Amino acid sequence: MPAIPAPSETPLRRITLDLGGCSACEACTSLAPEVFGWDEHTERPRLLQELVPQDLAQEVISYCPQDCIRFDDDQGQDG
């Protein structure tokens, strides 16, 4: 079995946050508070950092019910 890479070995990926369809569920802020903050004025999440470990980014993307979080780089084939 291949070894699971240590967090420092996990590639970083750039992500974007499109608030157009955001339902303000706060899944992203719960799963990755170091990446997503909460804007009290707009009552929507905001990015605190754009470069995120790939495994964390994939987890947050998969939990967003409105598909507001996406990869924004040329690695992989993430639609």
For 28-62, write each residue's pLDDT tens digit. Answer: 999 999 999 999 999 999 999 999 999 999 999 99
Q: Please state the domain extents for the chain.
A: 9-71
Closest CA to 79 of 20, 63, 62: 62
Query: What CATH topology corresponds to 9-71?
Result: Alpha-Beta Plaits (3.30.70)
In degrees and rounded to multiples of 5, residue 31 shows phi and psi of: -75, -35
> Residues of the chain with pLDDT > 70: what percent?
82
